Structure 1
């Protein structure tokens, strides 16, 4: 009975994973072959040799990139069960603690990968929903003018719904996506029955022959073939939600067979109707089923978009807590699931970007030119970071690690190079977006590190200060004052200003420092580090992982229970420093970067809401800081 219950539990997780993890890659059949053969800038002839060659490339891309690289290999490089580009970056950095130069390179790769992910987060909803609604053109040509408006309406409701969270409807994602993949498989079987010879494309000889006979056409086709593996990064990024085995089970049992059948069914239809196929996915279906298929496709693409949007929220929170993104307002949309969050600023920026993309590109084929670079860039970075993890943490050494990862890097670079050809046609968009975000994130990280170092250099020792306070005639008032600081060894500026201007000090003073570590989560037993200092002073360091939700009042309550810290909610006040930054002549950053950092610092969210501190218990004290050495 226990074995049966375990199997049933993993099967249920596999269904849930199908709804969350495989939405992006599962909707790729809507536009992949259409993009390869009908792309305006570099169309591929629809003759049997090219059709068989492209299908063979798609099949072996699914096998090498998704099945072997991500599902089998990369998912083993987990950060305490968590995956994703930020988690992998933290894992690689940890393995290179004694190599500062390599560590800097890992940091650069990780931030660039995160920036490319944001570009992908904007393009995926646009191309997915647009490709589904384009099925209306197959239903009737007169419906073509309604495709873009209908797409915009659907996307508006999708982003407007984010504030409510997906906890209520999330349970339907899995069954809907299972139905979607079964529909893909059924349509594929119908198409293959018309030309069973299409299955010969499973032989890699057809891919090799296609590239050998038409090297340029084969190279260009990789720019569209890569669309078949978009969403592979989600397998790794969402590993922490479901575990490795359910994701692998769903892939090999349902998702991979359904995708292969559908791609080959579309190829068979193209073989029997050469030159007549403008949208082979929808033309696979009988006329009476088109409206229902458009509806199911739209539901599937909305689910795929939801997963990407949720991923953008998650990676933003991880970036904030690892110090690469300014504090933003985060709202919990579920009382039960910590991962259900909503970040208003990111949500509305993504919506604006998606609207601009749909209006600017007008069709999924046009959008495909912009899509590939973001995806392939992230794939290359994942392979590079995995190489470091394999060589260092798995102790295989550089030679064995390179031999193991070399095939993946070669394939990724081939896909990336093929998409670079499309820079002028739309590939400039994700590249420019990624570069802009990279500059913002590195500026924030560099500025925060420099500011923290400057405050540490100028700070008095909190231990010496607490000891000396016993010899001073300072008025002590009842209650507890909690002073937030980034340096637990120094006296917080807010404490000095309170003494200077108010001439008082609380009976109990807590110097509280919050740290975020490069691990996903910390158990409650490892969260606090406490030290009692002289004259009613206390030092408390609260640590969180990059997926934890910080809660300072909860941490103080835990410290009160565990160490006897006097921090009753009714007698506790929180003091927060509000620094005003001024550009300096000898700062470690250029003048324009100083101005950029100051602007970001000024508009960053307050620590009050970020740390869940009650606003009516907070006192803010200002100070001016000149950015100079």
Structure 2
């Protein structure tokens, strides 16, 4: 293992390309969006007030809240709102009502992330392409076609993975941040008075001077911290220290200097208000900067897409989403995955957003509601971790979390003022995702109760086995079941239809725990019931991908005989019939039935050999009554 001091700068460099792409491209549109909210003139008073708001938002929200405090909430090294939810739930114990509220808060926060994930690629790429208008107004018609081309290309290359070019992301973003710093510093030197904006009094004076309108501008100011959640979400990839190092020593200074440079430019040349970022550079550098900013926004978009993949996998492993096809695009990088279904949905959504809003200024009205909502819910969850895990006294946890809930609430309220102009979009996306997640979770609970009302104890089953009945056939049968006790219904169905029992029967339960990874020594437990019947329970974390043949192989190496070639895997697949008197509302029961139908089969998800799988089906009426319908037996994978 390398010495951490040696690898710290290298990890910080790599983190630049994954963690800071979103927040690093915010200078492309943030100041312009702030001035456009109230059609403000770029005079000294307005600029110093807005820049002061931007700077202190960066300091309070990112430097203090996320980098200093929230990144302490490590779930065995992992971060992100799903990991934080698991941490808060575990820290507070398992009292039913409080646990339900914590899970709901975390689920809603995770759902809002997808609203942000749709808008980030759209606004980033659009704002970069709009730099062409600075070079020549005649190129304006090319902005949207080029933006669409970049987005489509970006999503189409996802199936190939990013491992091959991922090592270039860090150096590319290093160049980007150095350009941000250098271009801003040039204009600060021309107008040093802009440094007065670092005084928080100017922020307070601006709010006081503009009143209600000043609060409305906060809805645009928050664009400066979009992507702050990535500091915590990507903590598992790099560790807290490299991310903090990159933030404090490079990203925060570069962003601050660039925003101040844009302010200095506008004080000297108010006519640059249309696109102050690109006018920081000489005319000859405009097109090169369009290319460079295009690369930076593609990297930022890639980070958001990869984050959506990761969050989706965590959600489905924790039981909040149906099984989806997951393709690993790199043999070396465990986190390099591709989800074809999600990729297609995201691409269509981003294209629709670009065609609907058509400019980064218009999109800035839609941006922010999801981000600030997630920030506020994250603060609520941190309160429970601070109280129950960190053992903070109530006054300390209440003071810290209360201050940031108030701050996040002000930002969220400011963004709600943009509701009709587009703020509704990410909230609608978040609400849809939350509905899907909560419906799937609830539907699976009801389905489990219908399918397994009373499990037959293994001991009672063994008591009915004699030397002659049922007939024992050679080979191994592996029955997958969600229950960790009793006889699986798939075994009973197979016995009923085929009248035989394999000489070796393995009842296998895979459990996903509310922690990222499980130590190999704690992975599998084996119970031998005798007469060739075994129960295996395999535990996985929400960052891990199960591999059943690998599980059986690891058990085989400890003296348990297992032959891959003579093994048959029995899996169940349900078809739901929604009923008018269902425990779910009828429309949610229908939604659950559709999700169940399109859920990826167990053969692919658990990496089973397709020609060794027997699939048994159940038809279930999702009503309050007992299970109706029949079972069918079929070969397949």
Using the size of structure 1 for normalisation, the TM-score is 0.97
SS at match of 1:169: helix
Q: 2:608 aligns with which of 595, 605, 613?
A: 613
Q: 1:333 aligns with which of 305, 322, 329?
A: 329
- Aligned twin of 2:21: 23
Q: How does 1:167-246 map to 2 (within 5 A)?
A: 167-246=163-242
Residue 328 of structure 2 is aligned to residue 354 of structure 1: no
- Aligned twin of 2:411: 415
SS at match of 2:453: helix
Residue 249 of structure 2 is aligned to residue 253 of structure 1: yes
Counterpart-to-counterpart distance in 2, 1:548 and 1:115: 21
Q: How does 1:418-457 map to 2 (within 5 A)?
A: 418-457=414-453
SS at match of 1:168: helix
Residue 248 of structure 2 is aligned to residue 267 of structure 1: no
Counterpart-to-counterpart distance in 2, 1:602 and 1:578: 9
Larger CA deviation: 143-152 vs 93-102: 93-102
- The 8 Å contact of residues 490 and 570 in structure 2, kept in 1 or not, is answered as yes
Counterpart-to-counterpart distance in 1, 2:451 and 2:152: 44
- Aligned twin of 1:37: 35
SS at match of 1:582: strand
- The 8 Å contact of residues 338 and 549 in structure 1, kept in 2 or not, is answered as no
- The 8 Å contact of residues 187 and 280 in structure 2, kept in 1 or not, is answered as yes
Counterpart-to-counterpart distance in 2, 1:296 and 1:627: 55
- Aligned twin of 2:283: 287
Q: 1:467 aligns with which of 458, 463, 466?
A: 463
Q: How does 1:461-500 map to 2 (within 5 A)?
A: 461-470=457-466, 473-500=469-496
Counterpart-to-counterpart distance in 1, 2:402 and 2:574: 49
- Aligned twin of 1:114: 110
Shift of 1:588: 2.4
- The 8 Å contact of residues 574 and 596 in structure 2, kept in 1 or not, is answered as no
RMSD: 1.4
Deviations 1:376-431 (A, max 9, x none): 01100110111111011112243331112222111111110000001100011111
- Aligned twin of 2:630: none
Counterpart-to-counterpart distance in 1, 2:252 and 2:98: 37
Shift of 1:306: 0.3
Deviations 1:435-469 (A, max 9, x none): 11111110000111222233332321223213322
Q: How does 1:88-167 map to 2 (within 5 A)?
A: 88-167=84-163
Residue 577 of structure 2 is aligned to residue 582 of structure 1: yes
Q: How does 1:74-89 map to 2 (within 5 A)?
A: 74-89=70-85
- The 8 Å contact of residues 461 and 487 in structure 2, kept in 1 or not, is answered as yes
Counterpart-to-counterpart distance in 1, 2:107 and 2:443: 15
SS at match of 1:533: strand
SS at match of 2:480: strand
Shift of 1:549: 1.0
- Aligned twin of 2:627: none
Larger CA deviation: 214-223 vs 395-404: 395-404
- Aligned twin of 2:551: 555
Counterpart-to-counterpart distance in 2, 1:226 and 1:585: 45
Q: How does 1:351-390 map to 2 (within 5 A)?
A: 351-390=347-386
- Aligned twin of 1:527: 523
Corresponding residue pairs, total: 624
Shift of 1:46: 2.2
- Aligned twin of 2:395: 399
- The 8 Å contact of residues 265 and 272 in structure 2, kept in 1 or not, is answered as no
Q: Runs of 5+ in structure 1 lacking a partner?
A: none
SS at match of 2:464: helix
- The 8 Å contact of residues 506 and 533 in structure 2, kept in 1 or not, is answered as yes
SS at match of 1:277: helix
Change (3 A) 1:33 1:162: same
Larger CA deviation: 507-516 vs 485-494: 485-494
Residue 310 of structure 2 is aligned to residue 314 of structure 1: yes
SS at match of 2:77: coil
- Aligned twin of 1:626: 621
Change (3 A) 1:454 1:398: farther
Larger CA deviation: 245-254 vs 100-109: 100-109
Shift of 1:276: 4.2
Shift of 1:583: 3.0
- The 8 Å contact of residues 38 and 278 in structure 1, kept in 2 or not, is answered as no
SS at match of 1:385: helix
Deviations 1:214-259 (A, max 9, x none): 1122101101100000100000000000000000000111100000
- Aligned twin of 2:598: 603
Deviations 1:45-83 (A, max 9, x none): 322211100000000001000000000100001101100
Q: 1:504 aligns with which of 495, 500, 504?
A: 500
Counterpart-to-counterpart distance in 1, 2:465 and 2:284: 84
Counterpart-to-counterpart distance in 2, 1:499 and 1:34: 70
SS at match of 1:598: helix
Larger CA deviation: 128-137 vs 90-99: 90-99
- The 8 Å contact of residues 16 and 171 in structure 1, kept in 2 or not, is answered as yes
Counterpart-to-counterpart distance in 2, 1:169 and 1:275: 39
Counterpart-to-counterpart distance in 2, 1:274 and 1:154: 32
Change (3 A) 1:121 1:560: same
Counterpart-to-counterpart distance in 2, 1:552 and 1:43: 61
Counterpart-to-counterpart distance in 2, 1:506 and 1:611: 22
- The 8 Å contact of residues 37 and 44 in structure 1, kept in 2 or not, is answered as yes
Change (3 A) 1:463 1:43: farther
Change (3 A) 1:116 1:518: same
SS at match of 2:261: helix
Counterpart-to-counterpart distance in 2, 1:404 and 1:116: 23
Residue 551 of structure 2 is aligned to residue 544 of structure 1: no
Shift of 1:585: 5.6
Shift of 1:472: 6.1
Shift of 1:565: 2.8
SS at match of 1:81: coil
Counterpart-to-counterpart distance in 2, 1:406 and 1:415: 14
Deviations 1:130-169 (A, max 9, x none): 1111100001110100000000001111000100101000
SS at match of 2:557: helix
Larger CA deviation: 76-85 vs 273-282: 273-282
